[in-house]
Amino acid sequence: MIEIYLRLVDKILTPIIFLIAIFLFLRGHDMPGGGFIAGLVAASAIELTILARGTQATRDRYGPWAVPLAGTGLTIAVGAALLGMYNGGFFRSIWLEFSMAGEKLKLGTPQLFDLGVMFVVVGMAITYLLRLGEAAEVAVPEQTRLERQREDRHR
Amino acid sequence: MPALALSLVILFISAPIFWLLKPHRSLWFAWLGALPPATITVWQALQLPAIAQGNFIAERYAWAPTLGLELALRLDGLALFFGLIITGVGACIAFYTAYYFEGEPRQGFFYLVLYSFMASMLGLVWADDLLTLFIFWEGTSITSYLLIAFKSDYKGATEGARRALIVTTAGGLAMLAGMVLLGLHVGSFNISEILAAPDIAAASITPVALILIFLGAFTKSAQFPFQFWLPGAMAAPTPASAYLHSATMVKAGVFLLARLHPAFSELPLWFWTLFLVGGFTMALGGVSAIRYTDMKASLAYATVAVLGTLVMLLAFREKYAYEAFVVTVLAHALYKAPLFLSAGIVDHAMGTRDLRRLANLARTMPLVAATVVLAALSMSGVLPTMGFLAKELMLEQGFQRLERGDGLVGGLMYAASVLAALFMVAAIATLAWEAFFRRQADEHPAHLHHAPSPGFVAPALLLTLLGTVGAFFAGMYENLLLAPAIAAISGEPTTLRLKVWHGLTPVFLTSLAVLAVGIGVFALRNHVRRAFAAVPEKFSSLAVYDAIIDAIYHFAYRLTTVIQGSPMAPQVSVTLLAGVAVVVYALFFSTARTGVLLDSLEIPSIAEWLIFALAILGALATVRARSRLSAIISLGVVGITVTIFFIVFGAPDLALTQLLIEVLTVILLVLVFFRVRPDPFIEDDRRRAFRLFVAIAMGFFGFTVVMVNHVTQIGESISPYFLEKSYSLGKGTNVVNVILVDFRGYDTLGEITVLGLAALGGYALLRSPQIHKLRRRIVAARSAGEDGAQPVSAVKHEATEVGHD
């Protein structure tokens, strides 16, 4: 029964949590938030899926993205730092400022770097959560269940 | 226009693009693949006249200006000479690759690494800054590793790759230390400035720096006693062997020595090290080549011999040595690459490249046979080829020394050259004869799968023809291409007049004798091979290397058993006590205590007291908990109170992070403790007392550190700077984030690298075979037990899971 409720929660909350993660990421440079926090929030959304649906379903959903994500993040971060070479050195920031619909917006290499940070955090979290979740699913409940069945049969 | 940087960027960008294009779909990608390197070759060729007149192209880019680091590129005669070989041969290899990997889905990945290597190698020879050079140097080591390990399901490939990586990067690190010594002494890492520094050869650090740099150059260029990694690298796909392990990468060490030659070659240390190491490597490699029946292994030892020759030639500061050096580099690239490519074609067509199983291929592959024969003539130094010119000049150098009465150097050089040359003649004659012309194979003759298409052979044939006729037309390029390279090596401008025919000189007669004796050895090849096979393996440098690696593994194992062999609690105690020891040392024995004592502590408010009490309660509950689950949850409570503290003190970013970490930690702990067996409850009072002591010590010293940090201040606080500059410099109002991603970006980069590595480690460790064994058992039990009706689905389930991982 619990699983059904959890699945419902997963269905409703997971997209919202991801949106929150994106929101936190985007506002990060000026208000509390940022890549690290956004990454953790996204990771908790994925953990919710694991708890509600198990690792296999989660793997089906995020699997192809999970493992390369940390490497992608690192590449993006280094790439953002390298872009700074254009502006006089490794890690020098470049900013584009423009206004759209009356709002002043800005885009810069530090934000790209932050995106890399977020990817690394999510990638690492998924890797551990999936692997450990798998181990926990397999090792304990299944084993005890099988043993119980065997005892039942003996009786 | 920044043409040099642009060329590197083109290659680096072509790499992923080619990967995404999936080039295995069509052979037309051969042309597209050859395009970027061919373009750069043409551009370089157009620069020849300007460079020959001394109008070098230099580009400098700031990297970390505050540290004085920069990326500096400079196209002088030597850089252009090597650059042309890299991109010219590279274009041929890129073309050949499409045929070699016809229809192979991983072809795109091969191109990715190949282009990355090409860019690194080009950057290496164009570099005008020692650290720039080092970065590209490591780039070539890593790409070489990926290419050797390309057939990752083959054990020899992964082992050979690891060996090559360990040897070359260990040498690279030694080299870095030497470069840093040189750079600090001169006050600049710019190569031109270092070479121009007065009295650099006489400086006290120079011998140490040189020996360290030699280590880098010798490991990279497979000099004795590091030569063993090169034959192991032959597990790489043939295009990589032809390109990296004969034409370009292995010459990086030689290139570095040539680069440093003008400043340091007067030193006796320089002369004797290069002369003896190079000469011995040349003799060893040349003699070993005939021993192997694998075509590529035989060619690899011949490459070792040539690399030894090049190192030996760089020992001298004389005209013939310089000329021999540049001609050998060029000739070797033009004959060895085609030989490798031909070996690859044979392998591709016959399914083997073992000489014992091959015979009479000239009938089925006449073009390949022609290529091999022409290249073999150049390699053995038969008259009109470029290889002949190279050998002639080298012998001339030895002869000059003899004539001047320097019997030791001249005699040694002459003897080593002749020995290496005649065995190489025998080895290449054996290869060409046995594979292409003899009637009958020794055992299990291989059969032709499919004949190679002309496009497959074309790149090899093109390179060979250049090498064969090149010597005739030396007048066209000797002062455009070779003389500027010699000028960069010797440090003085020079002109060149190469002659193919010198008349019946003693050197020419020696050359003839070498050929004759070489053919004699070829006739006796089976006896020679048997004699070599009797040499015991355990004196080889490979055996020594393996023993060293084994010893390191053994030591690591012993160390780990001592420190971490016990159950979890003692392990944690070791870690915690080590932390405490560091703090105690810092507090009581460190002399660097120049902090200022801040005046007072504020009295906390009631709300703070309440949170504080909650934290203590949580901690007590953790300790007193009866089950692990409740302990973990109580620990979570402690974490949440810390979060509340952050909120109270106005640090929303920290609070948010702490909260999320706390949630994820609780989940992770629960998951982890499913796997870890509980420690048995300890009845022994002494042990319990010890653990109590560890816990209290840790708590006390943690408290002390925080207190001391709070009431003292060392130096001036940097917080106001960050607060003030956050918006003006970092364009952000969230100071924490600006510090993380901008002001202290280097730190963050380091941290996420650690995170990424942790992810990789977790991925590898947690997919331990036990989990899979258990899972398979459960699946099997399930199909036999309750789900007995659907065994097929269970098996399918298992199969998908195994396939997935």
Pairing verdict, β A95-100 and A103-108: antiparallel
- Closest chain B residue by Cα to residue A46: B664
Confidence at B803, pLDDT banded by 50, 70, 90: very low
Summarize pLDDT for B462-519 with one digit per residue, the tens. 998 888 888 788 778 888 888 888 888 888 888 888 777 777 788 888 888 888 888 8
The CA R_g of chain A, rounded to the nearest whole Å, is: 21
ipTM of this complex: 0.82
Q: Do B760 and A70 touch (CB under 8 A)?
A: yes
Contact A74, B756 (CB under 8 A): yes
In a domain, A34, yes or no: yes
Average pLDDT, chain A: 79
Confidence at B775, pLDDT banded by 50, 70, 90: low
- Closest chain B residue by Cα to residue A95: B731
Tell me the mean pLDDT in the region B117-140.
Answer: 93
What φ, ψ does residue A104 adopt, rounded to 5°? -85, 125
Q: Which residue has the higher pLDDT, B2 or B769?
A: B2
- Best mutation site among A6, A31, A37, A48 for testing chain B: the one with the most B CBs within 10 Å? A37
Average pLDDT, chain B: 84
Summarize pLDDT for B521-564 with one digit per residue, the tens. 888 888 888 888 777 766 677 888 888 889 998 998 888 887 77
Contact B270, B407 (CB under 8 A): no
> How large is the greatest C-alpha to C-alpha distance in chain B, in angstroms?
106
In a domain, A155, yes or no: no
Which residues constitute the domain of residue A7? Answer: 2-149
Q: Do A120 and B759 touch (CB under 8 A)?
A: yes
- Best mutation site among A120, A150, A154 for testing chain B: the one with the most B CBs within 10 Å? A120
pLDDT of residue B274: 93
Name the one residue in this structure whose structure tokens are 């420690």.
B679
Instruction: Please tell me what DSSP assigns to residue B248.
Output: S
Tell me the mean pLDDT in the region B44-59.
Answer: 88
Element (H, E) at B126: helix B107-126
Instruction: State yes or no: pLDDT of A82 exceeds 60.
Output: yes
Q: B270: number of CA atoms within 13 Å, CB side? A: 20
Q: How much of chain B exceeds pLDDT 90, in percent?
A: 21
Lookup: tokens for A147: 């043993």
Element (H, E) at A11: helix A2-27
pLDDT of residue B801: 38
Q: Which residue has the higher pLDDT, B661 or B591?
A: B661
Summarize pLDDT for B614-664 with one digit per residue, the tens. 999 998 998 888 888 888 888 888 888 989 988 888 888 888 888 988 888
Q: Do B664 and A143 touch (CB under 8 A)?
A: no
DSSP letters for B313-379: HHT--SHHHHHHHHHHHHHHHHHHHHHHHHHHHHHHHHS--BGGG---HHHH-HHHHHHHHHHHHHH
Element (H, E) at A103: strand A103-108
Task: State the amino acid at position B53 in one-letter form.
Answer: Q
Q: Which residue has the higher pLDDT, B728 or B225?
A: B225
Q: Do A114 and B804 touch (CB under 8 A)?
A: no
Whether residue B225 is preceded by a cis peptide bond, meaning omega within 30 degrees of 0, is: yes
Contact A133, B671 (CB under 8 A): yes
Helix/strand/coil for A108: strand
What φ, ψ does residue B160 adopt, rounded to 5°? -60, -40
Q: Do A34 and B742 touch (CB under 8 A)?
A: no
Q: How far is A111 from chain B (nearest CA, A)?
A: 8
Q: Do A70 and B653 touch (CB under 8 A)?
A: no
pLDDT of residue B304: 92
pLDDT of residue B645: 87
Instruction: State yes or no: pLDDT of A97 exceeds 70.
Output: yes
Name the one residue in this structure whose structure tokens are 């065997």.
A150
Instruction: Give burial (CB, 10 Å; 0-12/13-18/19+) of B188.
Output: middle
Summarize pLDDT for B368-415 with one digit per residue, the tens. 889 999 999 888 888 778 888 888 888 888 888 888 877 788 888 888
In a domain, A97, yes or no: yes
Instruction: State yes or no: pLDDT of A76 exceeds 50.
Output: yes
The Cα–Cα gap between B610 and B607 comes to 5
Helix/strand/coil for A94: coil
What region does B593 belong to: left with phi over 0, alpha with psi -120 to 50, or beta? beta
Confidence at B799, pLDDT banded by 50, 70, 90: very low
Name the one residue in this structure whose structure tokens are 């502590």.
B601
Contact B783, B794 (CB under 8 A): yes
- The residue count of chain A comes to 155
CA neighbor of A23 nearest in space, from A12, A13, A34, A10: A34
Number of domains making up chain A: 1
Q: Which residue has the higher pLDDT, B489 or B743?
A: B489
Helices (H), A28-108: 35-83
CB count in 10 Å sphere of residue B513: 12
Q: C-alpha angle B488/B278/B533, rounded to 5°?
A: 145
Instruction: Please tell me what DSSP assigns to residue B451.
Output: P
Asked if B753 is an interface residue toward chain A (Cβ–Cβ < 8 A), one would say yes
- Across B649-688, b (16+ Cβ under 10 Å) vs e yields eebebbbbbbbbbbbbebbbbebebbbeeeeeeeeeeeee
Domains of chain B, residue spans: 1-264, 289-534, 566-715, 770-804
Instruction: State yes or no: pLDDT of B166 exceeds 70.
Output: yes
Summarize pLDDT for B292-338 with one digit per residue, the tens. 888 888 899 999 999 999 999 999 888 888 989 999 999 999 999 99
Helix/strand/coil for A78: helix
pLDDT of residue B773: 65
Instruction: State yes or no: pLDDT of B792 exceeds 50.
Output: no
CA neighbor of B248 nearest in space, from B58, B423, B114, B106: B114
Contact B74, B58 (CB under 8 A): yes
Instruction: Please tell me what DSSP assigns to residue B190.
Output: B
